[in-house]
Amino acid sequence: MTRFWTRLIVVLTVILGVNYVAWRWMASLNWEAWWIAVPLVIAETYSLIDVMLFGLTVWNIKFRKPPPPPPADATVDVFITTYNEPLDLVMTTALAAKEIRWPHSTWILDDGDRPEMRELAESNGIGYVTRGADWTPDMPRHAKAGNLNNALMLTSGEYLLILDADQIPEPDILDKTLGYFNDDKVALVQTPQYFINVPADDPLGSQAPLFYGPIQQGKDGWNAAFFCGSNAILRREALMQLGLVGYVKATEKSVRRALAASRTAIKKARRSPEAENPLVEQMLNEVEAATESAQKELEAGASLSEITYRVRRQVDDAVRTLVAADFSALQSDLEEIAAMELAHVGESGVTTVATDAVDRMSGRDWSPLGALESVHAVLDAISVERTDEAQPIMPLATISVTEDMATAMRLHGLGWKSVYHHEILANGLAPEDIKTMLTQRLRWAQGTMQVLLRENPLVQRRLTWGQRLMYFSTMWTYLSGFAAVVYFAAPIIYLTLGILPVNSISSDFFIRFIPFMVVNQLLFLVAGHGIPTWRGQQYSLALFPTWIKACTTAARNVWFGRPLGFAVTPKARQSGGPSWSLIRPQIIVAVLLAVALVVGLIRLLAGMSEPLGTLVNVAWVAFDLVVLSVLVKAVLYKGFVPEVVGPERPEERNADAV
Amino acid sequence: MQFSYEVNDSYAEVKSVGRLNMVAAPKLREVVAEVVAGGSSRVVVNLAETDFMDSSGLGALIGCLKAARQAGGDLRIAGVQPQVKMVLELTNMDRVLTAYPSAEAAFGDD
C-alpha cells in the first residue's frame, strides 16, 4: 500500500516538477540578468533531477522478510578495523564481537601496528592482524581497503563481518543475516549504521535515517543496496573473484603499456650514439623482435603469463648469446697472450673463463643490457607480478578513499546481488564535535566523487540501468554545494540590487512552483514514513563549502594526481572551545543574508521595489537562515551527555528500526 | 663513461670513470690502442671510479692486455671496486689480471 502511494506521489512530483522547470527555462528567464538567471535555473534543474532520482530510488522500495536459517556449517571471520582509535574502544567492540553467537573467529585488524593492541588481543583470545612484510614502505597502503585486503589473505572464513572499531555488534547479528547467503548470488548484506551517542535533536546530523531506510531499501529494490564499509557481511568468494578480475585487468593494462613503451624506448635507443656499436644494435634487434611478437600474441589473445615469460626468455637468450660471445673473444685473446708468453717463459696452461660465469654475467643485475637503461626498465615492466602493489590480489577497491562504494559497484558489475537488512544490529559512535564531523563528511564526499570520476556508473556496461542510476543518484547529491551557492545568492541579489532572475513574480510562478514544492515535501513524508528528514535537508545545503571542496579536491586528485589531504576520522571528541572559524563561509553568507533583509525592507519602504517580490525573497532568505542555523547548534554542541538510561532503551531502538 | 689518460716516465695511466659496459667497452679499446701506438706499452687502467663492469667491459680489458703485450709491454689494473672484483673472481680473470691498490703501485716492482 505504501508502495502505491509512494509511486503515485513520485509520478505527481515528476509531472509538476517538469511542468515548473520547463516553464522556468522557456518562459520565465530574465535574460537581462542572465548571469544570475541562468545559474538559478540550472540550480533548479539540478534539484529537480535530484528529486527525480530520489523518486526512482523509492519507486522500487523493498521491505524484506527475515531470511531463512543459514547453512549450519557457514564459517565466518569477524574483522574489526582500527588505525588509531583508543585501545579500550577497540577492545569493547572486539569483546562484543567475540560474544556473537554464530561460530566465528574474531580478528582485530590493527593498521597502527601497536604492540599494546596485540598484547590485549592475544590475552583475550582474539586474533590480531597487521600488515605483513610485503607492505614495504614504497608500496601504496590504501588505508582501510589495504588493511582489509591484507587480512583477507591471512584468514579463511567463507563470510566476513566487517566492523569499524566503534561499532558494537549484537550477539545475533550473524543469525539474522547469514541466511541471505543461501542465495548463491548474494555477495553482500548491509545493515544500518546507528549511533548511540547522539541526542534526540541530532545537532551534527549524524543519524542518516533517510539513507538507512527508504534510500537503501529503494536501492535494494534495484539490486543496488550499497556497501557502507561497516556493519556488513561479505562473501569471501565474491571478493576474491573481484580481486582476481582486478588483477588480470591491471596486469593486462600494465603489459600493454610496457609493450607500447618498449617500442618508444627501442626507437630512442636506436637514435642514440651507442647504437652504432654493432653489439648494441644486435641487442636492440633481439629485444624488438621479442616485444613485437609479444604484441602480436597479445592481440591474438594468448595468456599474459605465457607472453611475458616468452619475452623474458627471448631477451635472456639474447643476453646470454652476447655474454658468451664476449667470453669466447676474451678466451681467444687469452690464448694469443699465452702463445706469446710461451715463447719467453714456457709456462703451461691457459687460464679459462669459469664455466658458470656466463650464467652469472647474464643475470638481471650484471647483464650487458643494463647499458640501455630505458629499454631495461621497460622490459622489467613486462611482467605479471604486479610489482607496484604489496599484493597482486586486491579484492577491496583501491580507487577511492571510500573503498566501500567502489567495491559494491564492481561486485554488482560481476553479477552479484546485494541485500539491505533494515534492522539495527550494531551500535556505533558518531563524531561529537563539528570539526570531526566535517572531516568525515568531506572524506565521504571526496570518496564518492573519486568513484564518479574514475568509474562513472553511467558507463558501466555490466550494470543494469537501475543500478547505474542508483549509484549516480548518490553521487549527484554531492553536487548540491554549487546549487546551494546560487540559492543563497539569488535572494541577496534581488533584495540589495533589485535584480530579479525571473521576468516577473506573478501568478504564473506561484501556480507552478507551489504545487511542486508541496508534492516534493509530501514525497519525503510518505517515502520516509514520517522519519525526520529535516536535519538532512539542512545539512545538504548548509555544508556547501564541504561539498564544493570535495568536488574540487577529488577532481584535482583524479585528473592531476594531487593528494586529497586525507585524514582518518578521529573517534574521540576533539578538545577546545567553539570553533567558529570552521564555518566562516557560512557565517559570511548568513551576514550577507541578514544585510540583504534590512536593505530589502528599506528599498521597499522607499518604494524602490515591489511588495510581492520582496515578500517572496524575504521568505526565501528566512528559509536560508533557518537552514544555516543548524550550524550554530553544531558549533556550540559540547558532546554527548547520556540521559538517564532506563532498561527500556534498547527496545525503543529496535521498535524504531524495524 | 669517460676515459682520460696521462703518460709519465715509466707508464701510462688510463682513468676509467663510470660504468664499463657494452657501450663503453669499444671506447676503452680505442683509448688503449691510442696510448700504445703513442709508444707507451706499459699501461695501468685505473678503475677506482668504475663501479660496474659487464662481460663486454671485461672482454675489452683482456683485449687491451693483448694489445699491450703484443707491443712488448703490459696492462695492469688498479683501484678495483667491489662489483668489478666480484666479476674478476667469478670469471677466474683475477688469475690473469692482478688488482693493484693504486696506479703507482702497479708498476712499482719494475
Domain CATH for A205: 3.90.550.10
Is residue A290, in this structure, part of any structural domain at all? yes
Asked if B63 and A330 come within 8 Å (Cβ–Cβ), the reply is yes
Do A289 and A350 lie in one domain? The reply is: yes
Do A402 and A349 lie in one domain? The reply is: no
Do A630 and A536 lie in one domain? The reply is: yes
Name the 3-class secondary structure at A329: helix
- pLDDT confidence bin for A570, thresholds 50/70/90: low
How far apart CA A493 and CA A484 sit, in angstroms, is 14
Interface of chain A toward chain B, CB-CB under 8 angstroms:
274, 277, 279-280, 283, 322-323, 326-327, 329-330, 333-334, 336-337, 340-341, 351-354, 356-357, 360-362, 366-372
- Here the cell at position A279 is 653489439
Residues in chain A with CB shorter than 8 Å from the CB of B71 are none
Query: Other CB atoms closer than 10 Å to residue A423's CB: what's the count?
Result: 17
By DSSP bridging, strand A186-190 and strand A232-235 are: antiparallel
Q: Quick one: CA dihedral A249, A255, A261, A263, positive or negative?
A: negative
Report whether A323 contacts A362 (CB < 8 A).
Answer: yes
Residues in chain A with CB shorter than 8 Å from the CB of B50 are none
Asked if B59 and A351 come within 8 Å (Cβ–Cβ), the reply is no
Report whether A326 contacts A282 (CB < 8 A).
Answer: no
Is residue A105, in this structure, part of any structural domain at all? yes
- pLDDT confidence bin for A649, thresholds 50/70/90: very low
Closest CB to A330: pick one of B19, B59, B70.
B59
Query: Other CB atoms closer than 10 Å to residue A652's CB: what's the count?
Result: 10
Chain A nearest C-alpha distance from B9 (Å): 25
- Best CA proximity match to A235, nearest among A159, A140, A319: A159
The residue length of chain B stands at: 110
Instruction: Please indicate if any CB of chain A lies within 8 Å of the CB of B96.
Output: yes
Q: What's the confidence (pLDDT) of residue A643? A: 64
Name the 3-class secondary structure at B15: strand
Q: pLDDT of A450-504, one tens digit each?
A: 999 999 999 999 999 999 999 999 999 999 999 999 999 999 999 999 998 988 7
What separation in angstroms does the CA of A305 have from each of A201, A249, A289, A290, A363?
A: 59, 13, 18, 15, 21
Which amino acid appears at position A317 of this protein?
A: D
Which amino acid appears at position A197 of this protein?
A: N
How far apart CA A182 and CA B36 sit, in angstroms, is 86
pLDDT higher than threshold 60 for residue B27: yes
Q: What's the confidence (pLDDT) of residue A342? A: 63
Asked if A283 and B22 come within 8 Å (Cβ–Cβ), the reply is yes
The alpha carbon torsion through A510, A516, A522, A524 (nearest 10 deg) reads -130
Is residue B58, in this structure, part of any structural domain at all? yes
Is residue A166, in this structure, part of any structural domain at all? yes
- pLDDT confidence bin for A567, thresholds 50/70/90: low
The residue length of chain A stands at: 658
Do A238 and A257 lie in one domain? The reply is: no
Rg (CA), chain A: 32
Q: pLDDT of A357-390, one tens digit each?
A: 888 888 878 888 887 777 877 787 888 878 788 8
pLDDT higher than threshold 80 for residue A651: no
Query: What are the strands of the beta sheet with A194-195, ordered from one edge?
Result: A168-169, A426-428, A194-195
Q: Domain tally for chain A?
A: 3
By DSSP bridging, strand A159-164 and strand B2-7 are: unpaired
Report whether A394 contacts A135 (CB < 8 A).
Answer: no
Q: pLDDT of A177-229, one tens digit each?
A: 999 999 999 999 999 999 999 998 899 999 998 999 999 999 999 999 999 99
Start-to-end CA distance of chain A, whole Å, equals: 17
- pLDDT confidence bin for A343, thresholds 50/70/90: low
Average pLDDT over residues A424-430: 95
Report the b/e string of A635-648 with b at 16+ CB within 10 A.
bebeebeeeeeeee
Do A322 and A266 lie in one domain? The reply is: yes
Do A334 and A373 lie in one domain? The reply is: yes
Report whether A570 contacts A436 (CB < 8 A).
Answer: yes
Do A331 and A195 lie in one domain? The reply is: no
Is residue A443, in this structure, part of any structural domain at all? no
- Here the cell at position A287 is 629485444
Is residue B110, in this structure, part of any structural domain at all? no
pLDDT higher than threshold 60 for residue A345: no
Q: pLDDT of A61-102, one tens digit each?
A: 999 999 999 988 999 999 999 999 999 999 999 999 999 999
B71 → chain A, closest CA residue: A340
Least confident of A41-55, A250-264, A300-314, A335-349: A335-349
Chain B nearest C-alpha distance from A273 (Å): 9
pLDDT higher than threshold 70 for residue A549: yes
What separation in angstroms does the CA of B96 have from each of A323, A469, B60, B75?
A: 19, 76, 14, 10
Is residue B109, in this structure, part of any structural domain at all? no
Q: Helices A434-454 and A611-636 meet at what angle, rounded to 10?
A: 110
Return the residue matching grid coordinates 636506436: A270
Q: pLDDT of B64-105, one tens digit each?
A: 999 999 998 999 999 999 999 999 999 988 888 889 998 888
Average pLDDT of chain A to the nearest whole number: 89
Report the b/e string of A266-284 with b at 16+ CB within 10 A.
beebeeeebbebebbeebb
Range of the domain at A274: 250-381
- Enclosing H/E stretch for A49: helix A34-59
Q: pLDDT of A127-169, one tens digit each?
A: 999 998 889 998 999 989 999 999 999 999 999 999 999 999 9
Closest CB to A337: pick one of B26, B58, B69.
B69
Angle at A580 (CA atoms; ends A577, A585), nearest 5 degrees: 165
- Here the cell at position A181 is 547467503
Is residue A65, in this structure, part of any structural domain at all? no
Q: Domain tally for chain B?
A: 1
Residue bearing the bigger pLDDT, A445 or A533: A445
Do A417 and A351 lie in one domain? The reply is: no
Report whether B60 contacts B26 (CB < 8 A).
Answer: yes
pLDDT higher than threshold 50 for residue A125: yes
User: What's the longest Cα–Cα distance across chain B?
Assistant: 34
In this predicted complex, what is the ipTM? 0.89
Q: What's the confidence (pLDDT) of residue B87? A: 92
Do A83 and A9 lie in one domain? The reply is: no
Report whether A427 contacts A191 (CB < 8 A).
Answer: no
pLDDT higher than threshold 80 for residue A647: no
Angle at A69 (CA atoms; ends A65, A72), nearest 5 degrees: 160
What separation in angstroms does the CA of A568 have from each of A93, A438, A440, A449, A633?
A: 19, 12, 8, 18, 24
How far apart CA A417 and CA A225 sit, in angstroms, is 9
Range of the domain at B11: 2-103
Asked if B55 and A326 come within 8 Å (Cβ–Cβ), the reply is yes
Q: What's the confidence (pLDDT) of residue A657? A: 38
Report whether B19 contacts B56 (CB < 8 A).
Answer: no
- Here the cell at position B86 is 666480484
Report whether A82 contacts A90 (CB < 8 A).
Answer: yes
Q: What's the confidence (pLDDT) of residue A533? A: 83
Do A543 and A598 lie in one domain? The reply is: yes
Asked if A326 and B70 come within 8 Å (Cβ–Cβ), the reply is no
Write down the pTM of the prediction.
0.79
